Amino acid sequence: MAGEGAAASAAAAEVAADWRDGWRGGELLGAWEAVRAGAVAPALAALSRVCLAMSAMLLVEAVFLAAASHARRRPERRYRADPLGGGGAHDDGEDEEAGLLGYPMVLVQIPMFNEREVYKLSIGAACGLSWPSDRIIVQVLDDSTDPTVKDLVELECKFWANEGKNVKYEVRNTREGYKAGALKEGMLHAYVQRCDFLAVFDADFQPEPDFLMRTIPYLARNPQISLVQARWEFVNPNECLMTRIQKMTLDYHFKVEQEAGSSTFAFFGFNGTAGVWRISAIKEAGGWDDRTTVEDMDLAVRAGLKGWKFVYVGDVKVKSELPSNLKAYRRQQHRWTCGAANLFRKMGAEILLTKEVSFWRKLYLLYSFFFVRKVVAHVVPFMLYCVVIPLSVLVPEVTIPVWGMVYIPTAITLLYAIRNPSSIHFIPFWILFENVMSFHRTKAMFIGLLELGSVNEWVVTEKLGSSTNTKPISQILERPRCRFWDRWTMSEILFAAFLFFCATYNLVHGGDFECIYIYLQAITFLIVGTGFCGISNS
């Protein structure tokens, strides 16, 4: 009887414990549901509304850019671009009065830093430009810290000088200001005072011999123009899937964004290379400034606020190299995104208050050029497609409308795709990869807006000297030749784990197919986070 009583007591205690555990579990579940309904859901719903509004802004912007670029008038129909040449049939009294009869004096600047793989390409291409040798100066601005590279660059300059080219090899005692500092100091030399125009080429850019012949006439014959920007062409777009995706993004930038800005408000951001400036416009705008990591955009905005016009000539192409290493690409994107956001912070009030340009040009600069393209375009792909939509599967009180999840992104994607018909089969990879990169761009954008620690971080993009575009496209998964833990990016791996959890929860408890997209995005984050993207260092 005593044993039976003890057994009964034990059974009762076990039932009571199970009841208490269940009650506690139910209490916790009830508490979570109360917090979710009272705080989490309203916050997520508000965030989704903001993201959807910004997504609509992106669609309107994409439609505007597509229409403006499609309806463009060719630059030579809007501006005089007659070939130059002393006493030629196209010259008239206006040229003589302006002092531009014949060929004006041109300075070509080539800034470089430890460019062992590509220094010969840029110097050789610049020295091969079809322009009277007594009317051009090639200025090599070498900030290299590797003494061997400096010796090689100097030797290359001496070689071309012996060939009769006017090549100036300039070095500094410090890297202060990085590229902007080098360009600014390069303009201080006495021989620059004889020059009318300035062409800038990064170390991996190879202009065709007729580059100046096709760009200088716009400046020489149209005194209101300060900048002529050429299009970038790539020598290694098929090196790997990552370079193919980069080409799609940059092709859209040039074919649509630059073309639309040129044909509507005669303004766009200078790309830092493959462009020709009127030196007097540079001086009027205040010269090169190293206050941000986008000295090219900074100069363009200041010149634009002075009323100068810019021309984009998409028919003139300059060869360059796409970064094929993931780490180098990340750093490049950080510099571009952070610098643009920081410039927006520094110049927003100046743009708003200036009286030298029209209201519409100021609106275009503040809203379209800066806010939508430099802020909204980075926030939406990450916050909406990588945060809000995955979180909404965990919070059933929040529902994302179909037009926000499907219709708008599909429309924006189609507007991108129609300008890249040969790459349309890469669109799914482009979407997923760009969403991952938006994670880094959003972080860089906030660093620039808030001027946080790495706001002025400058790392020169690694160049490998790729010179062919005939290599077949590599597999989706590349295998870098380095240790696994050296190529990890823990933030991307952790975000992949978050997305896997959301996708699995949706698969088990949800009644829709959002888990398919979330799984694909999670896999992409994991691939990029573990370094199986791009190629290894040379």
Q: Look-up: residue for tokens 């003589």?
A: 96
What's the number of CA atoms in the CB half-sphere (13 Å) around residue 447? Answer: 20
Residue 143 designated active-site: yes
Instruction: Pick the catalytic residue from 251, 290, 296, 298.
Output: 296
Residue 296 designated active-site: yes
Distance CA 255, CA 267 (A): 15
Q: What tokens appear for 369 in the block? A: 């050029």
Residue 311 β-bridge partners: 228
Burial group, residue 445, by CB count within 10 angstroms (0-12, 13-18, 19+)? buried
**DSSP H helical ranges for 128-240:** 147-162, 178-186, 211-221
Instruction: Pick the catalytic residue from 143, 196, 202, 204.
Output: 143
- Give the rounded distance of the alpha carbon of 108 from its chain centre: 24
Q: Look-up: residue for tokens 């100066």?
A: 137
Checking DSSP bridges between strand 275-278 and strand 225-234, what pairing results, if any?
Answer: antiparallel
Closest CA to 365 of 335, 343, 397: 343
Q: Look-up: residue for tokens 């999840």?
A: 405
Burial group, residue 109, by CB count within 10 angstroms (0-12, 13-18, 19+)? buried
Q: Is 198 helix (H, G, I), strand (E, B) or coil?
A: strand
What's the number of CA atoms in the CB half-sphere (13 Å) around residue 436? Answer: 32
In degrees to the nearest 10, what's the CA dihedral of 426, 430, 433, 437?
150
Distance CA 494, CA 487 (A): 15
Q: What tokens appear for 389 in the block? A: 């939509």
| Active site positions, annotated | 143, 296
